[in-house]
Amino acid sequence: MDITVLSIFPRMFDTLNESVIGKAQEKGLLNLNIVDFRDYTTDKQNHVDDSPYGGGAGMLLQAQPIYDAMDAVEKKTPGKKRVILLDPAGKTFNTKMAKDFAEEDNLVFICGHYEGFDERIKDLVTDEVSIGDYILTGGELPTMSMIDATMRFVPGVLGNNFSAEEESFSHGLLEYPQYSRPADFRGKKVPDVLISGNHEKIRIWRLKEALRKTLDRRPDLLKTIELTDEEKKLLREIRSEN
């Protein structure tokens, strides 16, 4: 996968050379290209922002540097691209979106700063995305989060191919509780079912606990997924226990 990021703070992305994403680059599963779009400004002072027409507080990112940077990206890696603009007004990023992005060959992220973008920049993009209902100082941190979440669904990135599918939100439910050795730590014991060796009972226990955690912490998620007959039965049991 090719991922290009347009930012005026390229060194912030050095952290993606570490851990799982760093290893993905070493394996050739990810080609990460960070572009400082300040390099493409025609302003003598290298400004990439200006005040908005009509007045108002703050500064806007100008169209010219980003358009010229995108022209250079297209020359370097021609072809179809998914271009993502980090925008607080965009759709909220989630696991489904990460999976969709992971199926693409070429992603481009445009990181904003200041009070926003010249509206004409949006003509370049395919997706306007936010990571939540709050404002950060720039789009770099949200972009890194999206890249990390997306790359987990690219085959070969995770050591265990089932890891991404097993985790919270992958099937709409929060993840069930997990334990490791020792079986008894300071009087806190691992549930007997997990050391029983009975794989079917373990599967049912995990599913029930995932439903229990979701009902307790994120009941809104249960309204967005289609439960199986087994899940409905387990959910009724959980509710009867309360």
**Local confidence band at 56 (pLDDT 50, 70, 90 cut-offs):** confident
What CA–CA distance (Å, rounded) separates 66 from 171? 37
- The domain limits of the chain are 2-151, 168-241
CB neighbours (10 Å) of residue 109?
Answer: 27
Domain formed by 168-241, architecture = Orthogonal Bundle (1.10)
What CA–CA distance (Å, rounded) separates 15 from 18? 6
**Local confidence band at 44 (pLDDT 50, 70, 90 cut-offs):** confident
Domain formed by 2-151, architecture = 3-Layer(aba) Sandwich (3.40)
CB neighbours (10 Å) of residue 26?
Answer: 10
3-state secondary structure of 160: coil
What CA–CA distance (Å, rounded) separates 73 from 76? 5
**Per residue in 108-141, pLDDT tens?**
999 987 778 999 999 999 999 999 998 898 999 9
Angle at 12 between CA 6 and CA 13, to 5 degrees: 65
- Quote the pLDDT of residue 179: 92
Segment holding 3, helix H or strand E: strand 2-7
- Quote the pLDDT of residue 191: 95
- Across residues 16-38, what is the average pLDDT? 97
Nearest to 49 by CA among 61, 32, 64: 61
Share of the chain above pLDDT 90, in %: 78
For residue 55, is it left (φ>0), alpha (ψ between -120 and 50) or beta?
Answer: left
Q: Which one is predicted more confidently, 29 or 242?
A: 29
Annotated binding site for S-adenosyl-L-methionine: 112, 131-136
Burial of 175 (0-12, 13-18, 19+ CB in 10 A): middle
- Quote the pLDDT of residue 159: 74
- Quote the pLDDT of residue 161: 54
- Quote the pLDDT of residue 59: 87
148 Cβ contact list (under 8 Å, min separation 6): 16, 20, 21
Annotated binding site: 112, 131-136
Query: Is 0.95 surpassed by the pTM of this model?
Result: no
3-state secondary structure of 90: strand
User: What's the mean per-residue pLDDT of the chain?
Assistant: 92
**Per residue in 141-189, pLDDT tens?**
999 999 999 999 999 998 765 455 555 444 689 989 999 999 999 999 9
